[in-house]
Amino acid sequence: MQSTILFITPPFTQLNTAYPATAYLKGFLEEHEVSVTHFDLSIELFTSIFTGDFLRAIFKEAKELENFQYPQVHKLKDRYIACVDVVIGFLQKQDLETAHKILEPHFLPKGHRLINVNTAIDWAPGELGIIDKAKHYGTLFIEEIGDFIQANVDEFFAFTKYAEQIATSASSFDQLDEFLSYQPTIIEEQMLDLLVAQIETCNPLLVCFTIPFPGNLFAALRCSQFIKQLFPEIKVAFGGGYCNTELRSLEDPRIFEFIDFIALDDGEGPLLKLVSYLEGTIDADQLERTYILEGNTVVYKNKLPNTIYHHRNLPAPDYSGLPFEKYVSFLDVVNPMHRMWTDARWNKLTISHGCYWKQCSFCDVTLDYIGNYQNTTAASLVDKIEKIVSDTGITGFHFVDEAAPPKMLRALSQELIDREITIIWWTNIRFEKTFNFELCALMSQAGCIAVTGGLEVASDRLLAKMKKGVDIAQVARVTHYFSLNKIMVHAYLMYGFPTQTEQETIDSLEVVRQLFESNCIQSAFWHQFTTTVHSPIGKNPQDFGIKITGPVFEGFAQNDLYHEDVQGADHPKYTTGLNRALNSYLNNTGFDADLQSWFDFPVVKKSHPEDLIAGFLNVEAAS
């Protein structure tokens, strides 16, 4: 079998479901008569590592390296080897018989995580609770092995990233270049064996790696390095979110020792041009949004006008050929909303391209994947949903929009109801007033079970400064409507926004506490603010009262910026306390605790009244 293009999702991207980039491009390119194979090296490597046979090699490697971190795991290595295949099989299939086996008192070895398992968790009654409990114990067991691998065999190893620390804020290519000169680890050797077998199977003209995140870059480079050594006739291209965001100023030619092309933004047009170029029907000047090397100089080829493939005209993603039986469901956090990122199978699909709001001052609104908003019709979207369900057998959908438009969610919900199509789904939204009780009820009827959205700083002054377009009262009402309709809500939280004071940080925590206590939100996550080069703040820092202090761009990646905020608080010192409080709220505890109790240093008293959120909800109920 020969394919023109082999798409690869590199380790480690997502383990419970297929990352969608290759499926989108496969669906498009095969409509244009380009033969495509896609290969999820992320899940293939994970499931080849977590086997009894490979675990024996891991323990042997640790012994030869004379590394003995996590001695209890090493002491009980025979139990880990005996159990790992059973546990992985259960995390893939989640059958009741194996759940009972995993929960037998002496089946799993008690390592450093399982010895401290929370025995007070109130599991659901019946079979569901048994399966969830076994899933949680199995997840902790696998995490113990992961800890052992990272500490003793491969410091880069993690479940959803690999060598992220050397790709994050890599303004210079120096460190990546250095580590690529080292001998591959035992994990990388296994990865390369899988890669070679796949290349020999499909004999591609072009191998394309999607690089969604910094934690995918090094593994992809290691793979492409190997391809150049063993298959020098094959061309290699990179694309994806990392490239689109961080490599827009690329100057350093050294990365082209390992690859031939880097394509930016939507891949459909650039890839069609690349295929024509490699087949000799066009020259390099006809390429679109593509970096190549000419001489020793990095050149950006972008013939204008670009060939545009509008979102409404794109075919459904083609997930066929991906190993759905191999994906694993982890249950590390039992909060029902929080677990959705690592548990269950989800078909990933975008309702719209880009963001219809595209005003938030902290967001990369100048980039195509946010700033270029394109819509489609509900009928076309549901046609795609039907095809994907037919291809995958999975009826769960995660709509991965930057912010799903309310009008489209209304039309989508009505279309699903009218066509009597039963799916469950969740998506990201803005907490805007269009989401009234009636719309939330319609979405719930159509299968929506959860939404995520940015509450960010939970301060009206700062929400206005960041042009979020919402205020706390509105967020309270909208999240309340979702919760009344049994749609779970996850809030993205931010601290450290320019000029944010200690008072605003503590008051934000109080808002979050009240939203949880009022059951407006069921899940949340804190992020510390970082300035990025493509955001309005990064482009005009003086307008936000900050000064950019680095890093110095050295020809490779450019995204995160360092800044000084002379008006704001010392933000990093709040990290531990904010997370400590949030972890308690996630488990529906700690609402009566004084905010001071979460911090190891004196903090200011909150200035919000105890009934701030309740007051907003009462006003709405009375109107």
Identify the DSSP state of 260: S
What are φ and ψ of residue 424, in 5° steps? -115, 145
Rounded Cα distance, 550 and 473, in Å: 37
Question: Whose CA is closest to 25, among 209, 173, 190, 295?
Answer: 209
The rounded mean pLDDT for the chain is 96
Collect all residues with Cβ–Cβ distance below 8 Å to 10 and sequence separation of at least 6: 41, 42, 162, 209, 210, 211, 216, 219, 220, 223
Collect all residues with Cβ–Cβ distance below 8 Å to 142 and sequence separation of at least 6: 50, 84, 87, 88, 91, 330
Q: Give the Cα-Cα-Cα angle 131, 133, 134 (nearest 5 degrees).
A: 65
- pLDDT of 390-422, one tens digit each? 999 999 999 999 999 999 999 999 999 999 999
Distance between start and end Cα atoms, the chain: 67
pLDDT at 622: 55
In which residue are the tokens 């891949």 written?
Answer: 267
Question: Whose CA is closest to 583, among 513, 520, 519, 518?
Answer: 513
pLDDT at 618: 87
pLDDT at 278: 96
Strands (E), 225-359: 235-239, 261-263, 290-294, 297-301, 347-349
Give the chain's length. Answer: 623
pLDDT at 75: 96
Determine what percent of the chain is predicted with pLDDT higher than 70.
99
Amino acid identity, residue 608?
A: H
Rounded Cα distance, 257 and 510, in Å: 52
Rounded Cα distance, 325 and 89, in Å: 10
What are φ and ψ of residue 149, in 5° steps? -60, -45
Identify the DSSP state of 120: T
- pLDDT of 514-566, one tens digit each? 999 999 999 999 999 999 999 999 999 999 999 999 999 999 999 999 999 99
Rounded Cα distance, 162 and 183, in Å: 16
- pLDDT of 50-90, one tens digit each? 999 999 999 999 999 999 999 999 999 999 999 999 999 99
Rounded Cα distance, 171 and 152, in Å: 29
Amino acid identity, residue 357?
A: W
Question: Whose CA is closest to 245, among 224, 269, 226, 264?
Answer: 264
In contact, 136 and 332? CB cutoff 8 Å: yes
> Given strand 235-239, what is the order of strands in its sheet?
36-40, 5-9, 206-210, 235-239, 261-263, 290-294, 297-301
Residue 623 pLDDT > 70: no
DSSP per position, 354-365: S-SS---TTS-T
Looking only at the bridges linking them, the beta strands covering 297-301 and 290-294 are antiparallel
Identify the DSSP state of 123: P
For residue 596, the tally of other CB atoms under 10 A from its CB is: 14
Q: Which two tokens stand for residue 147?
A: 């800890």
Q: Which two tokens stand for residue 363?
A: 């967001």
Strands (E), 175-318: 206-210, 235-239, 261-263, 290-294, 297-301
The rounded Cα 84 to chain-centroid distance in angstroms is: 26
For residue 3, the tally of other CB atoms under 10 A from its CB is: 18
**Average pLDDT estimate for 282-291:** 98
pLDDT at 169: 83
Q: Which residues of 173-205 are buried (b: 16+ CB within 10 A; e: fewer)?
A: beebbeebeeeebbbbebbbebbeebbeebebb
Looking only at the bridges linking them, the beta strands covering 560-564 and 531-532 are antiparallel
Identify the DSSP state of 169: T
Helix (H, G, I), strand (E, B) or coil at 442: helix
In contact, 266 and 47? CB cutoff 8 Å: no
Question: Whose CA is closest to 273, among 226, 307, 321, 232?
Answer: 307
Rounded Cα distance, 79 and 81, in Å: 5
In which residue are the tokens 């290969």 written?
Answer: 39
**Average pLDDT estimate for 241-264:** 98
- pLDDT of 193-232, one tens digit each? 999 999 999 999 999 999 999 999 999 999 999 999 999 9
Question: Whose CA is closest to 528, among 469, 467, 571, 470?
Answer: 571
Domains of the chain: 5-46+163-308 (3.40.50.280), 68-152 (no CATH), 344-622 (3.80.30.20)
1 — pLDDT class (breaks 50, 70, 90): low
- pLDDT of 79-126, one tens digit each? 999 999 999 999 999 999 999 999 999 999 999 999 999 998 999 999
In contact, 206 and 4? CB cutoff 8 Å: yes
Residue 316 pLDDT > 60: yes
More confident residue, 621 or 44: 44
Continuous segment of H or E residues that includes residue 531: strand 531-532
DSSP per position, 138-152: HHHHHHHHHHHHHHH
Continuous segment of H or E residues that includes residue 6: strand 5-9
pLDDT at 145: 98
